Structure formats: structure tokens, C-alpha cells
Structure 1
């Protein structure tokens, strides 16, 4: 292990970038995280995340397993599959035993755990990156939106789907999959909507028909996120004459799409408290790769954007600890980045192929078996790892 490396910059304070920063600091290495958001609480961090073998391995490497277990909700692994017309329970998964467990945790809580584990001042808030360029001596120059720049021995793009760092390595851009999720939410569901709380159970509820899906996911504190998923052109809402500022018009449109569905399921939309947010699904090509460039690399969605099944988040965390460990165990920073890329790119390709298999299951009328899908994913990832 060495601490002689020059300064490292991570662009993006998502869970992948923060896991990398935490692990680097565990090794005694210098790192700064640059984030465009003005503060840690400037926006919601999204829904629950189930921590797979990959995510749990990353937390072990980061020394945060016990802190995670204190916040996790193992009961959140429950999945209830309902017939969309009759409301009948047709599939029921209860939390798995400890050997294959994938406990749920609020993404915001997980991000907070990681932020709290960092040395004060590690994250520089309100510092959006614009691009990165090579200086010529193996270092990289990080350019910010305000026109300033700083030089680093390594710049890590952990800035998500629309990464500002990726163009320095790859011409690939995310492509729309043809599927969109519209998100809304309910608050204090156990008290205000006990019938819906009973319908959902302790974890998630899903109903689907002819490529359309309704998904409800319990978060901590009685908060429930609800998603309506369907195939549509990217500008479907414009064609429908919808303005997402008009929540009632969006609600009416979605209820019309689900005409004939069971009234209890439609209650998830009728009673929602939050507005509606359109979340079109984009992906990078399966097997996305790049020619190595000294001083620059990628992790997480910036490297391997996949459908939002939670897989990408788990891999982003594992990317982070693998990169930090490679840096700490190589005297040469460029060799470390090469070793890291040789490790994570085959794994990401295998996960992307497994995601494609899951997409087929998610969009068909067959019952979703989350445990089976997770086993399939983990098997494909293990097959892609180098021997030893």
C-alpha cells in the first residue's frame, strides 16, 4: 500500500463516488469530491435500494457494514405480486434467509451514512464540472462550469448518466429504451391510507399487464413511492398535451391508461400526495468500454448505465471500492487505473446482459421473481470475474 500518489478528484457525490472516497481515505489517500448540488439535502435521493452481494461487499471494504445494518430494513425485501384486474395475490416473496439476504435501505440514508464517514471538507458542494482534459504529463485538468480549473493526478467520473467526464474517454451517449416510469408518492401511509398500507405490505407491490406496470415501494417513515411504467415515445407527454405542473391532468391520464384495473391498485394513484415526475429510462450500450486514457477513469452510471433495477447502484459502490483498492495497492497510479478498468468492464458487461434478461421479464405478463433475478445477476457477475 502507498500514500505517495498525487491528489485524486471524484466528480459526483452519489453513492458510488462517495464509497470510493471513503475507501481511499481508509487507505490514507488524498481525495476531493466535487458535486454540482449546492448541499447534501438540496434534493430527494430516490427510492429504496436493496443491497446485493456486490453492494454489501463494497460496504465491508469501506468499513461501514455495522452502520448499514443499523439503518437497513430486511423486511423491505417482501414482494407482493397482484393480478391487475382482480387484485388477487398471485406471487409473494418474503425476506430471504441471511445467506442470500439483500436488505433494503433508503438511498438518502445510505448517502448520508457515506457522507458522515468522510473527513470534513472532502465534498465541495456547488462545484459543477464542465469537462476534463489531459495536461500532457499524465495528469488531468478538471474544468468547472464557472471557468476555473484544477489539476489532479487522477479524475474519476462518478457523475452519472449524463457524465461530463465520459466524453474524454468515450463517444457513447445514453439511448432511450422506449420505456418511461412516472413517479409519485404517498406520505404517512399507515395512518392515512391503512388499506393501501395493507395492500403493499412491508416491501413492494407490483402489478402488470401488456407491458404496463404499477409498482409501489415502501420507504422508511411511512413514505411510499409509486411508479407507473409503460412503453411510449420520449415525448409522449407532449403528444398527450400534458404539463407536469398540472398534477390532476397527469393523474387522470395515468388512470385512463389503467382503465379496468382493480380499484385498490388505482387508489395508489388517486390518493398520491406528491406531484408526478417523468423518468424516461436510458442505457449505455451493453459492453460499453473505452480506450484507457492516463489520468481519467469512470465508475458507476458514468461507465455502465443500466435500467433502474438497483443493479447499477450496487455495482457503482463495488466499482468505488475496487478502484480505491487498486490505487492503494499499486505504486503507479496509471497501472492502478488500468487494473481497475480490466476488472470492472467485463463485470459491467455481464450485468448489462443480465439486465436485458430482467427487462424481458419485467415487461412480460409473467410473475416477477426478484430472488431468481438476483441469483441470475450474481451468477453472471461471478462468471465475469477473473479467476483467483
Structure 2
């Protein structure tokens, strides 16, 4: 068995690592030209029952523990005037430790044999060539033919059409991403408002969310429930104009909160949110399957990265357990994948907390969650 994986995100890399430690060779093809081609997103809370389990299956628990940013599990909810409505310092807890996505990806890359990941391999086409085999064509004109193809290539997967005609649809919400660097020194009031971990300031149809990253940097996602046409009218090639237009949606909010937008050290980046239909599934097609967002892209709810890693670990374990019957392994993997991802996608946490109950709906949820634990 040799597994061809498209995409060097967390799901694809966990799969490659789990296969490696079980003696099964794999090759990962990644469109980006190098590991450092772009930043890899912000903070991730890694859950015990899926993300941490996947890391353990990959044999990287010790390395993972070295990445944990202590105290970043703290969470607070504020009103738009800066009033603290909920504050959980999360002292002494470790159920959902926070790490930076880029660091997690790095330990996965470092755990693979040299040459496992082929960088600069952007897929231009995939086609079935019979008997469960598939040919992958890359933008540089080269091709590979494989008996086992795994699409770990995210929202706009080039592998997914082999299995499903579903395409991601706009979810009605977009994020605008900004950063404040060295905030404790340069923006002390804003740093104090954010606190030690995550800050949420939800209101009906909009929110400001910020995470404290390494080095005192604050990573902000402004969230706006607006049609795509609304964002299309904003010129994001003009950072000052785009910043002013986004900030206008939060007129009257406390200045220590709006500073996360107006004083950003990076140009605002628009990130439209798309999702596959909840409960997305496909019929078994010999020789190919999907992991992560390629199979179950959903509105952000804290589960995406964890599920992608769990997918990779579960698929790797299934293949290792049935090396002489790959189809049985893929069937068993998908049988567990479909209900697991459907359940996660059905929980529209973001939508619930930006409805007419905001911010108090989120406060009530967090208070109840604390009582349950």
C-alpha cells in the first residue's frame, strides 16, 4: 500500500504521520511552495476526545505539550460598552489547551521522513483510470497514478468531485482579520480588555472576537452577518478605507474594543465563510476518500481542526488494521465519519450567539457549561 494525500493541512499530515508510524508509506502533495509560504492561522483549542486523541495516535503527545500556551484557555465575554459579562480564568484546567496552528503543523511536518511532502504541487485535475486507480495532474504538467487517493485539500477540494457534486455555499457571514502586535505595551487598555486568553463581544448580527497569541499579540476576527454583496462594495485593496467602513459597524462601542479594528498593525483581510451541506456524505467509490474540510466544511464552531485531525488518525488506523482489504477500511472509516461530522455541523454555535439574544445567550451558555463541568 502507498497512500497519495492531497493537502498538507493538519488532517493530511496527521494521516501521513499515523501511516508512517505503522510502516505504511505515503506521499503528500501540497500546492504551497514551502512550509513558510503563508501564516497558518491563529490559536486552536485542542480537545481531549478528538484532537488530542489524534495527536496521541500520531505518537506526538510530548511534542504537543511543549506547544501549549499556558493560560490561553481563559475566556471572557464583554458588552459593546466594555462591561465584562463573563470571565473564566480557566486556572488549572487542561481539557482544551491552546496552541498555535502553525506550531502544530510544524511538529507534524518535522515528524515525517524527508521528502514525504512534495511542495509546489498544485492539483489541476483528477480522473479515474479504472480498477480503483486515479491519476492526479499537477499545474506543472506532471502526473501521478495511485491506488489510494485521499483528498485533504480543504474547502475547494479538487478530489471531492470524484465522490460528490456538493460545493461549498456562502454561509451568510464573513470574518475580517486583523492583528495588534505587542499589545501589552502599545495598547494596554485593549490588552486588558482581551484578558489572558479569548475575548468575545457578540451583538445581534456582529461580533468582535480576539485571541491572545504568543508575544502579547492580539489576533482579531470581526464577524459580520452580511451578504457577499455588502462586502463586495468595500475596497479591501485600500486598507484605510476598508478599516473605516468595518469600524463604522461598531460605532459607539468602547474605544478599547474598536481599537482592535482601527489600530490594526496589518491590513484587514476579508474571509468569507462557506460550508458544505450539513450531513454531507457520498457513496463509496473505490480507491478514494476525504478527510477534514474536503469532506465536511462547516461554519467555524471550534471543531474543524479537531475533526480534521481525528479523520486523519482514524483513517490511518483503519488502513493499518486492514492492509489487505483497503475497501473494507475505507467503508468502516466513512461509516463513522458521516454521523460524527453531521453532528458537529448541526451545532451552529456562531449563529446562535449572534442572534437577537446576543450577548446574553452566549453568557448563559458558558455559565451552564461551567455548571455541567
Q: With structure 2 as the length reference, what TM-score do the two structures score?
A: 0.94
SS state of the match for residue 105, structure 2? helix
Match of 2:340 in 1: 347
1:116 matched to which residue of 2? 110
The answer to whether the Cα contact below 8 Å between 2:9 and 2:105 also exists between their aligned partners in 1 is yes
Structure 1 contact 282–306 (Cα < 8 Å) conserved: yes
Which of 276, 286, 290 is residue 294 of structure 1 equivalent to?
A: 286
> For each residue in 1:146-201, what CA deviation from the matched residue of structure 2 results, as whole angstroms up to 9, or x when unmatched?
23211112110000000000011000000101111111111111222222211111
The answer on whether the counterparts of 1:361 and 1:368 sit within 8 Å (CA) in structure 2 is yes
Q: Normalising by the residue count of structure 1, what TM-score does the alignment of the two structures yield?
A: 0.90
Paired residues for 1:1-388 under 5 Å: 5=1, 7-53=2-48, 54-85=50-81, 87-95=82-90, 98=93, 101-239=95-233, 242-330=234-322, 331-354=324-347, 356-363=348-355, 364-365=357-358, 366-368=360-362
* 1:206-232 per-position Cα deviation (integer Å, ceiling 9, x unaligned): 112221101111111222111111111
> Compared with structure 1, are the counterparts of its residues 319 and 369 closer, same or farther at alpha carbon in structure 2 (3 Å cutoff)?
farther
Going from structure 1 to structure 2, the CA distance change for 1:189 and 1:49 (only over 3 Å counts) comes to same
Q: For residue 381 of structure 1, what is the aligned residue in structure 2? A: none
Distance 1:49 1:243 in 2: 30
Q: Which consecutive aligned stretches of 4+ in structure 1 deviate over 6 angstroms post-superposition? A: 373-376
CA distance in 1: counterparts of 2:232 and 2:308, whole angstroms: 33
The CA distance in 1 between the partners of 2:283 and 2:368, in whole Å, is 31
Q: Mean alpha-carbon deviation: is it higher for 203-212 or for 340-349? A: 203-212
Are the aligned partners of 1:134 and 1:295 in contact in 2 as well (CA < 8 Å)? Answer: no
- Unmatched tracts of structure 2, length 5 or more: none
- Matched-pair contact (CA < 8 Å) for 2:301–2:349: no
Residues 71 and 91 in structure 2, CA contact (< 8 A), matched pair in contact too: no
Structure 1: runs of 5 or more not aligned: 377-388
Q: Deviations over 1:266-321 (max 9, x none)?
A: 12122210001111111100100001111110000000001123311100000000
The 3 A distance-change label for structure 1 pair 73 and 222 is same
Report the aligned-residue RMSD. 1.9
Retained in 2: the 8 A contact 1:15–1:111? Answer: yes
Q: Please, which moves more after superposition, 227-236 or 312-321?
A: 227-236
